[in-house]
Structure 1
Amino acid sequence: MTDTHTHNDIGNILTEALPYIQRYSGKTIVIKYGGNAMTDPKLEQGFAKDIVLLKQVGINPVIVHGGGPQIANLLKQLGKESHFIDGMRVTDTETMDVVQMVLGGLVNKQIVGMISQAGGRAIGLTGKDGNLIKAKKLNLERKAIADQPSEIIDLGHVGEIVSINTSIINVLENESFIPVIAPVGMGEDGTSYNINADIVAGQIAASLKAERLLLLTNTPGVLNKQGELLTGLNTQDISALIDDGTIQGGMLPKVSCALDAASAGTQSACIIDGRVEHAVLLELLTDQGIGTLIRQ
């Protein structure tokens, strides 16, 4: 009896996925990969298999990854402290060397290797490859408060995106490769810049007019003040949630880049819990989905 129920459940799951596979076939899905999903071996292997499955059924995943914990660990080993201002890492020249080594080397190649082991064909890139991400120095402005004047804070090699050149991504997709992108950009003078991975994923999704943007986090999504998951949010909903303090802290940039992507041509964005096994498949290929769906 149990086997029959199990077989029926499996059959139902597979048939439930069919219309979503048909919907997304030939479409691009940009996935920001970070948080616990990058540090738990079981979740890492599951993520790699999910990505290969998507590609196998005709969907084009593009991965943008972070690597904050790995950067912090190497800096600590080198005897260098990490400093953050408004959630952004202060990145001097020495730190930028570590960022490039960890993101473009260690983390990027680990993800490429995992996908390859799962039977996929991945190519690792940084934003410097093929002039993928042109950037400039980010000047953080703090507004005047009481008797304190406004000021511009120097974060070093922290950058903001000037433009995205998607041609190299298009070439890789057409050749059935899976792009894996580290969020490092390059300025006009060749200077390297460390850029927030959520922002890079959102901008790439917008530039590609991707069907979906998925942001993997360490939370279930946007929660109300009672801790309940919110979904189906639009610009007006999010503005109200920011105004009443429901959305704050580290969730603000994620929601902002999701909205930006949706307003620039991406059909929808979703903030999902990377701690859930097969979170990507659950969001894309099931009726219920998981996480917070955001539309313009």
Structure 2
Amino acid sequence: MKSAELKASVVRDLVLLSCVGLRPVLVHGGGPEINVLLNQLNIPAQFRDGLRVTDARTMEVVSMVLVGKVNKDLVSRINYAGATAVGLSGMDGRLLVARPSPNAAQLGFVGEVARVDPTVLQTIVDNGSIPVIASVAADEYGQPYNINADTVAGEVAAALGGEKLILLTDVAGILRNREDPGSLVKEIDIKGVKKMVEEGKVGGGMIPKVNCCIRSLAQGVTTASIIDGRVEHSLLHEIMTDEGAGTMITS
């Protein structure tokens, strides 16, 4: 999604899916945009196990970028492409309640999803509109937290009773050999992907993605896919073809 052309293509595909009767919900982060602003402010970007270390200053930047810039940009693009989008963060309509990560001492204001109340989303979806959700939320006391967008997507999919969770990323999917792009795993079940994690074949930023897929499947989502968002129309290929466009994980 760093490419303006690819971003426009994904938006058009999302609108097309909505027009043919699917009910998509878009959840986003904004890692590259956050990194740009942090760099401009001379705030170092740090990561642990694929998650952004978020102190108080970084949390301000995350909220500013995700809610104030990225969300509005995506909503504007979807509206321009012919659908109706509604921008939200996890704090709107009490959609999400956050809790600190178990590794809060190392990660700072990085949160997990404690609860999802899909009431506001269901209303938007029932009206034929596309919710666009920024992955920030507050805890019971109003403290904002940065939550991994994939994690939010998985929890929202489960709460809505979604049929399919799709994560767009910048790799082909899950690889049997991380050094070999041709070793893509097209389909795997929960047991198989857990074994790959245990064997160290899945690591880094892919771990939160795999974990959120497993959680969503355990809560009733039918399939979860990790696909290459750098490939034009990968979203349509994943949904509308038998071949797909990445790795599909099944229960």
Task: Give 1:162's aligned residue.
Answer: 114
- For residue 168 of structure 2, the aligned residue among 216, 224, 229 is 216
Q: Evaluate the alpha carbon distance shift between residue 126 and residue 221 of structure 1 in structure 2; reply closer, same or farther with a 3 A threshold.
A: same
Residue 77 of structure 1 is aligned with which of 40, 46, 59?
40
Q: Does 1:278 align with 2:230?
A: no
1:253 equivalent in alignment to 2:205: no
CA displacement at 1:154 relative to structure 2: 4.0
Cα distance in 2 for residues equivalent to 1:237 and 1:79: 42
TM-score, normalization: structure 2?
Answer: 0.95
The reply to whether residue 130 of structure 1 matches residue 93 of structure 2 is: yes
Task: Give how far 1:159 is off.
Answer: 0.9
- Report the 3-state secondary structure (helix = DSSP H, G, I; strand = E; otherwise coil) of the residue aligned with 2:110: strand
RMSD after superposition? 1.3
Query: What percent identity do the matched residue pairs reach?
Result: 45
Determine whether 1:120 maps to 2:75: no
Task: Say which SS state the counterpart of residue 61 (structure 1) adopts.
Answer: coil
1:290 aligns with 2:245: yes
CA distance in 2, matches of 1:86, 1:240: 18
| Bigger mean CA offset, 239-248 vs 49-58 | 239-248
Pair 1:89 & 2:52 matched = yes
Gaps of 5+ in 1: 1-37, 141-151
1:65-86: per-residue Cα shift (whole Å, max 9, x none)?
A: 0101111111111222222233
Query: How far off is 1:173 after superposition?
Result: 0.6
The DSSP-based 3-state class of the residue aligned with 2:232 is: coil
8 Å CA contact retained: 2:97, 2:137 = yes
Name stretches of at least 5 consecutive residues in structure 2 with no aligned partner.
none
Look up the match of 1:30: none
Aligned residue among 64, 83, 90 for 1:101: 64
Q: How does 1:6-21 map to 2 (within 5 A)?
A: none
Instruction: Give the secondary-structure state (helix, strand or coil) at the position aligned to 1:230.
Output: coil
Tell me if 1:40 matches 2:3: yes
Is the CA contact (8 Å cut-off) linking 2:50 and 2:206 kept in structure 1?
Answer: no
Cα offset for 1:241?
1.6
- In structure 1, give the amino acid aligned to 2:53: V
Q: Quote the offset at 1:41 in angstroms.
A: 1.1
Alpha-carbon distance in structure 2 between the residues aligned to 1:164 and 1:69: 27
CA contact (8 A) 1:139 1:155 kept: no
Aligned length: 248
Aligned position for 2:159: 207
**Which amino acid is the alignment partner of residue 285 of structure 1?**
M
Note the C-alpha offset of 1:137.
Answer: 1.6
* CA apart distance, 1:207: 1.0
Moved more, 230-239 or 64-73: 230-239
Which residue identity lines up with residue 276 of structure 1 in the other structure? V
Out of 115, 122, 126, the position equivalent to 1:174 is 126
Q: CA deviation at 1:42?
A: 1.0
| Per-residue Cα deviation, 1:58-109 (whole angstroms, up to 9, x for no partner) | 1100000010111111111122222223332222222211111100110001
